[in-house]
Amino acid sequence: MTEVNASIDFVPGFRVAGVAAGLKKNDALDMTLIVSDTPCVAAGVFTTNYVKAAPVLFDMEVLQGNKDHIRAVTINTKCANACTGDQGLVNAREMARQTAEKIGCGLDEVLVMSTGVIGSQLPMEKIGHGIDLAAGSLGSDWAVAAAGIMTTDTRPKMAAVAVTASNGKTYHIAGIAKGAGMIAPNMATMLSVIVTDVTLPIDTAKGLLQSASETTFNRVVVDGDMSTNDTLLLLANGVSGVTLQSPDDFTAFHEALAAVCRKLAQDIVRDGEGVTKFITLTVRGAASPEVAHQIANTIATSPLVKTAFFGNDANWGRIVAAAGRAGVPIDPDLVRLWIAPGETEDFNLGSLLLFTNGMPSGYGEEQATAIFKESSVSILLDLGMGLGSATVWTCDLSHDYVSINGDYRS
């Protein structure tokens, strides 16, 4: 397992800033700028929601024409610039233009992200002010940059790894993310920028990013809602001088990239709105990995399952029932269900079998309740029907989630 740091010291060739542009109250950080001193190979993965925000549409268009000389990403909070019509696209473009002007690059070398309330136009005077501030304060403080993209997040989310290539040289991969609510796969509702100083081939950057995100950002659930703004970007500036030359180099890069994505994705769940429990949910024995994921995601989004965990109620029948309504055939007589304290995919030790042969296993209720009370719980559902498996990270659903989202705009 790749060791991932929860902080970012620096990534050669990249500079960042997080500033208070006045979008939030009380001088809170609300805009972030990430700049590469040299052109980057870039790739993006975006929301599959049919209602896409203006910055998503803008970035998708930019990356169609430019995949090898991206220089910057500008991110604002408080306003999602979604459901804003033609004016929203104009504003997204103007946000990129002003950034390009300040750092000295072309309009098509800047990508933009927005997060916040849907249906409001960007306050362009404040956006321009934020771009001015950020361009004038670029440095290596990634913690400030990570804080500048937070919405209902309670803490910044960062991840970094250093990798030694086959030629003995070292390169870096680092990323920041935001997300706490509206978290569901395809993609998980979030914004994230991952940067690296390795040289990446244009034709493989997108594939590597998609593969890494499929088992990380597309495997987390807080509430089952999908955003209009989900964006994951990868920028590679090649400053390290490291080129991926061998299959082992590509494998090492992919594993490190996935490790960074996994850390950020799991941090989003841990910091989910009102979350008190982190749940690792594995489904195995399915006809295919896709079927396993479909069933796992159905369980992970079930309000009844999530509230049972919040209430420390070992009501495992809700897990089995959710699996049975996932839209794929299962045989309850073949299904087995275990729970275990902590974060694990190994259920050989310390686990409790709850359900087997179509009925309860005869477990001890007190032992099951004690596991449900843990702050981290792991679930294994074995369908006994094949070799497909999938792991999803989810959480409970608390009173605080309702309170946070009941007055989100106030």
Q: Enumerate the active-site residues.
A: 189
- 213 neighbors 168 (Cβ within 8 angstroms): no
Closest CA to 213 of 228, 198, 196, 193: 193
- In DSSP notation, 216-259 reads TGGGB-SSS---S--EEEEEE--TT--B--SHHHHHHHHHHHHH
Cα Rg, the chain, nearest whole Å? 22
- From CA 390, how far away is CA 386, in angstroms rounded? 12
Q: Which two tokens stand for residue 152?
A: 């209902």
Closest CA to 260 of 242, 239, 235, 224: 235
Q: Which amino acid is present at 71?
A: R
- From CA 215, how far away is CA 213, in angstroms rounded? 6
Q: Which residues pair with 169 in a beta bridge?
A: none
- 85 neighbors 118 (Cβ within 8 angstroms): no
- 342 neighbors 376 (Cβ within 8 angstroms): yes
As a whole number of angstroms, the longest Cα–Cα distance in the chain is: 69
- From CA 5, how far away is CA 133, in angstroms rounded? 29
- 195 neighbors 11 (Cβ within 8 angstroms): yes
Report the SS3 class of residue 148. coil
- From CA 300, how far away is CA 310, in angstroms rounded? 13
Q: Which two tokens stand for residue 359?
A: 């009925």
Closest CA to 314 of 358, 345, 272, 360: 360
For 177, what's the count of Cα atoms within 13 Å in the CB-facing half-sphere? 37
